[in-house]
Structure 1
């Protein structure tokens, strides 16, 4: 049992699970826009998420020398290093325009983590900005990169999906912020800190309405997608309603981050 728990913790703490969530959203994009070949960009997103998230999570601790090289952390370091090599491998398989945009999002990740200006905090600690930066990066990586790499024309459907994907990530982050309310620095000015948990839940539930309705504005309506999206909305609504500060870390780091994976699997089943 202890070994199983160790494996689960390594799986979650090394960001493999969140990497799979990103991979699933890329595959969702490829399905929605009928992109047949896109293994390179999907794998790039998967390994890039592992590297990016581990850098964000462990860089500050490493620089402050508040982190010890336990066995678990050594394994995570090895996973991150291997992922970094694979990111480079898949990066050179992408189209030139995709590479340029990927570098832009890499720069945003660095800005999010490292203080570029003396005596200034990094973007992660800018009051009220964190949620928008994270949502923007997820939209760019899971929607922008596969579309650019495929070379298909950008239509109104693309912009609709950008809005829809942004709302989805925004609502998911709201749940994270509710769970982390007790531990977050008050200066971060997260949404629950500013308007309270109850209003944050109401905001999240209201945002799920346009998320679903945007599907009706596409150039062609997919009935299976409507069914799957309704299941997704109900799932996220339940996560939102039952979110509170006393939930375990697995509530968000495993179950909530499984939502994009379940969304993709449901679409495959239908």
Structure 2
């Protein structure tokens, strides 16, 4: 059991799980927009997420020498290096325009992590903006990147899906912010820090209602799609409802983060 726990911890701490969620959303985009050649985009997003998230999580601590290179961290460093090589390989298969956009998101990741401006903290520590940066990056990588790579026009439907996806990711991040409330720096001004846990849950619930309401604007609206989105929204709502500072790290980092994968699987089975 101890071995399995360590394996699960490595799976989560090395960002493989969050990368799988990103991969699932890219593949979902392929399903929704009937993109047949999407593996290069999906793989680039998967390996790029491992590199980006591990860079964000461990770079600052490594630079200040507060992080000792334990065995697991050495394994994470090796995985990140191999993932970087794979991300570069997949990057070469993308269209030129897509490559430029991918570089833009890479720049945002650097801005999010490194303090580029004198006497300024990195973007991760800019009060109140972290959640918006992360949600926008997720939407950009999982939706706009594969759509632009496939040269699909940016129609109203694309932006409708983008808003829905932004809402879902935003609410999922709220779950993380509630659970991390006791560890987060008060200067971050996360949503729970600014309006409290109960109001955060209320705001998240209203956003999920909006998520479902937007489904009626879809020209291809049907009852099966509505049932599927309702199931996903209800699952997110339950995770939000029971989120608190006493929950284990697996509650958010494994279970809540599995929801995009669940959504993709359900879409493949019943979409």
Q: TM-score, normalization: structure 2?
A: 0.98
After TM superposition, the runs of 4+ consecutive aligned structure 1 residues lying more than 3 A away are: none
Equivalent residue, structure 1, for 2:139: 139
Question: How far 1:219 sits from its partner (Å)?
Answer: 2.4
2:126 maps to 1:126: yes
Which stretch shifts more, 207-216 or 101-110? 207-216
1:42-66 deviation line (CA, Å, top 9, x unaligned): 0000000000000000001000101
Which stretch shifts more, 224-233 or 96-105? 224-233
Q: In structure 2, the residue corresponding to 1:115 is in which secondary structure? A: coil
Give the Cα–Cα distance (whole angstroms) in 2 for the partners of residues 29 and 225 of structure 1: 15
Equivalent residue, structure 1, for 2:83: 83
CA-atom RMSD in angstroms: 0.8
1:120-142 deviation line (CA, Å, top 9, x unaligned): 10000000010110011001000
1:10-48 deviation line (CA, Å, top 9, x unaligned): 100000000000000011111111111100000000000
Q: Structure 2 stretches of 5 or more lacking a match?
A: none
Give the Cα–Cα distance (whole angstroms) in 1 for the partners of residues 24 and 216 of structure 2: 22
Which stretch shifts more, 13-22 or 212-221? 212-221
Give the Cα–Cα distance (whole angstroms) in 2 for the partners of residues 110 and 119 of structure 1: 17
Question: How far 1:225 sits from its partner (Å)?
Answer: 2.3
Give the Cα–Cα distance (whole angstroms) in 2 for the partners of residues 15 and 222 of structure 1: 35
Equivalent residue, structure 2, for 1:19: 19
Equivalent residue, structure 2, for 1:221: 221
Give the Cα–Cα distance (whole angstroms) in 1 for the partners of residues 91 and 226 of structure 2: 34
Give the Cα–Cα distance (whole angstroms) in 2 for the partners of residues 224 and 139 of structure 1: 24
Give the Cα–Cα distance (whole angstroms) in 1 for the partners of residues 166 and 251 of structure 2: 22
Equivalent residue, structure 1, for 2:198: 198
2:156 maps to 1:165: no
Equivalent residue, structure 2, for 1:101: 101
Q: TM-score, normalization: structure 1?
A: 0.98
Equivalent residue, structure 1, for 2:240: 240
Q: In structure 2, the residue corresponding to 1:153 is in which secondary structure? A: coil
Question: How far 1:223 sits from its partner (Å)?
Answer: 3.6
Give the Cα–Cα distance (whole angstroms) in 2 for the partners of residues 31 and 222 of structure 1: 16
Question: How far 1:222 sits from its partner (Å)?
Answer: 4.2
Q: Structure 1 stretches of 5 or more lacking a match?
A: none
Give the Cα–Cα distance (whole angstroms) in 1 for the partners of residues 112 and 232 of structure 2: 29
Equivalenced residue count is 270
Equivalent residue, structure 1, for 2:48: 48
1:107-152 deviation line (CA, Å, top 9, x unaligned): 0110000000122100000000101100110010000101001111
Matches within 5 A, 1:145-156: 145-156=145-156
Give the Cα–Cα distance (whole angstroms) in 2 for the partners of residues 261 and 223 of structure 1: 22
Q: In structure 2, the residue corresponding to 1:181 is in which secondary structure? A: coil
Any conservation in 2 of the 1:224–1:267 contact (CA below 8 Å)?
no
Equivalent residue, structure 1, for 2:210: 210
Give the Cα–Cα distance (whole angstroms) in 2 for the partners of residues 33 and 213 of structure 1: 21
Equivalent residue, structure 2, for 1:182: 182
